[in-house]
Structure 1
Amino acid sequence: MSVPAPIRLMILSAAVLATLSACNRDDEKAGAPASTATGAVVATAPATPLSYESKTPYAEVELTLDPAITAYPDLHAQLYQTAVRELNQFNEGAQADRTEAGGDAGQAAYSRTIALVPAAETQRLFALKHDVYEFTGGAHGNGVSTGILWDKTARRQIRPTDLFRAGADLKAMNTALCAAINAEKRTRGEGVEPVTADGDLWACPDASATPFTLAPGANGKAGGLLFLVGPYVVGPYVEGSYEVVVPTAAFAPLLAPDYTGEFG
């Protein structure tokens, strides 16, 4: 049984994040990023590339990493190695699909692109947005975004849920998330329907099951959480994805003590 493309993308993205977390356990003793005499972190010449590209008759894949990531060599190496491995697996899968289908005459090559860009940075946390776009035939491709959080003090990736107290109910953010989505929907013109908690076809998403990263703020603090809502989640494909901010006030009581000071 085939898996719908949006669901497959979410599964693959979750697998990437799990792989990165596993890498942390092996790399925690790696060196710290270079610093100036004042202690400020500076980017160093990367030993790991910032891009990767491969083209075959079956698939085209590409990876780009923002240069700011080079300030954290451990993270940089993990992201690059994991993404390249994933893209090579995609290439192999594309070849297998075409072979099983009896050839690729008249079909466009599969494609998959991965882009990693900074979202926000605080004194302790470096937050990224992990964007994936995939085409495997059909009328159009599909994209999904997830968040990556790097604890600069511990020099390791943390899970998004690590920001919160043990047992914190992230569903407490559901109302604020739904309001933020509907506010964005109102900017997209006529015909874009709002969502409700008990919607029939499209409904407000569960905050605890929605990817997020940090939203930029002021004075070295995060301004909230940037929720990354993919196509088909709160509306038809034509609406695209939604990136909306839930302000700190909506979840401040849920934060773990180690990370309370990272939000303004």
Structure 2
Amino acid sequence: MTALRALLLTVAVTASLSACNRRDREPAADAPLPAAEAPAEITPADAAAPMNFATTSPYAAVKLTLPNALKAQTDLHARLYADEVRLLRQFVEGAQADRSEAGDDPSIPPYEKTITLTAAAETGKLVSLRRDMSEYSGGAHPNTTARGVLWDKALKQVIGSGQLFRRGADMSLLDQALCAAVNTARARRVPGAPPLTLAGGGEWTCPRAAATPFVLAPGTVDGKAGGLTFLIDPYKVGPYAEGSYAVTVPLTTFRTLLAGAYADEFAGQPAN
């Protein structure tokens, strides 16, 4: 497995895709976790990867959309396309097995899975993409997740928080800032919602920064990131009906935590 494949396959689609077990549950994170392993084999067809992929069968409909920002990053483009298409084909195969086992009831609509990557921000060294996944295999609603892909253009590899921040850095200040940003966003969306804490004690708890997916936030200085936008899935800080959150923490909160190799990629304030 490659660093990128491990990033994209945290939770692989299983062959059974049991609709019963998938209904009304917390969404699975089926992508982005960094790892350092052997690079994926990229075929000549993958190297000329298109920006879209879609296929439909009686059992499932799947779709992949990639951003134009990938065209300049041919290695990342090829690997993302190869790994995401592989994941979608596995989903189609699993859907067929699952529905056949259940008697292939024609009243049940085909399963669906879409993966959409969008450009978040780019600096001199880094390209940041947001990956949104929606998957439906029965139940009251689809499962959705959002993840970040952070690509070092010179090293030609995906990095995570372990590389972006100094080893051994005290993340407590960033944890507190993220918690405050979540509470501010929730108060706007759900007036009167009790504030969350890092310690917990209630049904929901503030997320920890190191365990929360993120993308670079465009900054007020050209070619620099002004902060980090953390991506919080439904069920993480509130019920499904509350939805997902994308909350931005400014550079001033974590500047001293950044690894030396990436400190110069940040400046100013978040643009939005």
- Residue 233 of structure 2 is aligned to residue 230 of structure 1: yes
- 2:167 counterpart residue number: 166
Cα pair distance change 1:6/1:114, threshold 3 Å: farther
User: Deviations along 1:99-136, whole A, 9 cap, x unmatched?
Assistant: 22122331121111000111111111110001111101
Matched residue count:
242
Match of 1:259 among 252, 258, 262: 262
Q: Distance in 2 between matches of 1:218 and 1:25?
A: 36
Q: Distance in 1 between matches of 2:144 and 2:60?
A: 17
1:108 aligned counterpart, secondary structure: coil
- 1:195 counterpart residue number: 196
Q: Distance in 2 between matches of 1:73 and 1:253?
A: 33
- 2:154 counterpart residue number: 153
User: Taking structure 1 as the reference length, what is the TM-score of the superposition?
Assistant: 0.84
Q: Distance in 2 between matches of 1:227 and 1:6?
A: 22
Q: Distance in 2 between matches of 1:24 and 1:216?
A: 30
Matches within 5 A, 1:57-206: 57-190=58-191, 192-197=193-198, 198-206=200-208
How far has the Cα of 1:169 moved from its partner? 3.7
Assess if the C-alpha contact under 8 Å between 1:133 and 1:141 holds in 2. yes
Q: Distance in 2 between matches of 1:233 and 1:149?
A: 22
User: Taking structure 2 as the reference length, what is the TM-score of the superposition?
Assistant: 0.82
Cα pair distance change 1:104/1:193, threshold 3 Å: farther
Assess if the C-alpha contact under 8 Å between 1:6 and 1:143 holds in 2. no
Cα pair distance change 1:179/1:229, threshold 3 Å: same
Stretch deviating more after TM superposition (159-168 or 191-200): 191-200
Bigger proportion of residues as helix? 1
State the AA in 2 paired with 1:208.
Answer: A
State the AA in 2 paired with 1:201.
Answer: E
Determine what percentage of the aligned residue pairs are the same residue. 47
- Residue 16 of structure 2 is aligned to residue 13 of structure 1: no
Matches within 5 A, 1:31-70: 47-70=48-71
Cα pair distance change 1:66/1:190, threshold 3 Å: same
How far has the Cα of 1:183 moved from its partner? 1.3
Q: Distance in 1 between matches of 2:78 and 2:53?
A: 13
How far has the Cα of 1:253 moved from its partner? 1.5
- 2:220 counterpart residue number: 218
How far has the Cα of 1:201 moved from its partner? 0.9
Cα pair distance change 1:199/1:243, threshold 3 Å: farther
Q: Distance in 2 between matches of 1:63 and 1:158?
A: 23
State the AA in 2 paired with 1:144.
Answer: T
Match of 1:247 among 245, 250, 255: 250
Q: Distance in 2 between matches of 1:5 and 1:238?
A: 11
Assess if the C-alpha contact under 8 Å between 1:51 and 1:62 holds in 2. yes
Assess if the C-alpha contact under 8 Å between 1:51 and 1:64 holds in 2. yes
Cα pair distance change 1:5/1:50, threshold 3 Å: farther
